[in-house]
Structure 1
């Protein structure tokens, strides 16, 4: 098993994965005892996400990540059912972290080659219909024209303008636009909650830095990734996995 994420050691990831799984299993085993069911299910979702991301970073086989993704989806659905007060809203407008994670999960659902039924379930969890041009254009490309609210603007143009432009540009211009997007992606998402996590004590819960959406958009819009596939943060073996199966 070859580690994919260069910033931390395989020993770090092995320890991190064991620790997170232990917390997850403890929460699941004691679920009936929690008075705040939504809060407990939110913790389960966060742990499932951490395992999905960190297992990719550690080098787990891509086919094994499909079950990790489904655990994330099922945990999110359980949270939606329990969160009757809508505490965990996942607002795009108010939180760049929510947006980055949501467009990343949509990308992962495409890259892992899930069928439309799974993607529809994910969209129910994500919500935010009609809030962002890139997100809605991506959904329409993946699922075909939908009865969704049209978006009027790009919520985070400083980060995502080049990626959105790539989805609309002539074919010969698309690779360069994604190259530009990837080249600036990490520094422009400095306001996400996990930015520079690897610099924290004992790794700060670091799970890896991956720009899933660059690969997801490239796949969905048929963009040649040969000119940017070796840039940092691009999950190139996941992109290759998807391209050989699509």
Structure 2
């Protein structure tokens, strides 16, 4: 188990239920039980569930190697389901995970091209693109699509000597409360099984990019420590 909010039994049941939902949708598609004007929406829903399942499986402690292939499929499918009006968090997490899984520049280009295509301006996304596509580690500059808590990352990148200390502060004080307007905020309190894990993948990606000694962050909530150390940096 990596998650500390829910137990093993919860995640076992959650994964079973969500896998069943996907199979149900797929069966309806295969049996032509979905109206033509609803096919795209159903496929997009399947993709969203698969993403949440990936995170839930990570939360439950599944081997990262087993998650990598499924992540690559989600990455390949991004052009089908993400556009300029799609969720910013979806793109942020996909880019961060792509860095943590150390995907090739070519594969990361799928995400970079989408951001360019839809002219999605954002300091953090541009920072990730510059790192992965151009091999450069620049300052976090420009505007954020959503200011708080991400604007707190500017000082972390700018002040390398205190980066670990500031990243720890970001995780402990700002990250979770900064997402109170997200649909998944406090979702662990729901009666239904909706919770799949709280993880600051962007914090992990920044730690990896800056090559930080993050040993002090290993047990800090929301920090995906073993993902940061899954593969060495490469472009």
Give the drift of 1:13: 0.7
Task: Show the counterpart of 1:141.
Answer: 131
Rate the CA distance shift 1:39–1:232 in 2: closer, same or farther, 3 A. Answer: same
Task: Show the counterpart of 2:19.
Answer: 21
Task: Show the counterpart of 1:94.
Answer: none
Task: Show the counterpart of 1:168.
Answer: 158
Task: Show the counterpart of 1:38.
Answer: 40
Task: Show the counterpart of 2:85.
Answer: 89
User: Which runs of 5 or more structure 1 residues have no equivalent in the other structure?
Assistant: 81-85, 91-97
Q: Which moved more, 1:121-130 or 1:152-161?
A: 121-130
Q: Cα deviations across residues 111-142 of structure 1 (Å, max 9, x unaligned)?
A: 11211122112334556545111210121012
Q: Which residues in structure 2 correspond to 1:1-246 (within 5 Å)?
A: 3-31=1-29, 33=32, 34=34, 35=36, 36-79=38-81, 89-90=85-86, 98-125=87-114, 128-144=118-134, 152-169=142-159, 171-183=160-172, 184-203=174-193, 205-243=194-232
Rate the CA distance shift 1:125–1:245 in 2: closer, same or farther, 3 A. Answer: closer
Give the drift of 1:72: 1.8
User: Which runs of 5 or more structure 2 residues have no equivalent in the other structure?
Assistant: none
Inter-partner Cα distance in structure 2 for 1:172 and 1:76: 36
**TM-score normalised by the chain length of structure 1:** 0.82
**TM-score normalised by the chain length of structure 2:** 0.85
Displaced runs of 4+ in structure 1, greater than 6 A?
Answer: none
Rate the CA distance shift 1:129–1:180 in 2: closer, same or farther, 3 A. Answer: farther
Inter-partner Cα distance in structure 1 for 2:207 and 2:134: 16
Inter-partner Cα distance in structure 1 for 2:80 and 2:88: 20
Q: Which moved more, 1:23-32 or 1:125-134?
A: 125-134
Inter-partner Cα distance in structure 2 for 1:243 and 1:162: 26
Inter-partner Cα distance in structure 1 for 2:201 and 2:195: 16
Q: Is the 8 A contact 1:129 1:136 kept in 2?
A: no
Inter-partner Cα distance in structure 2 for 1:138 and 1:168: 15
Inter-partner Cα distance in structure 1 for 2:10 and 2:175: 25
RMSD: 2.4
Q: How many residues align?
A: 225
Q: Cα deviations across residues 47-67 of structure 1 (Å, max 9, x unaligned)?
A: 111210010011110011111
Inter-partner Cα distance in structure 2 for 1:221 and 1:143: 16
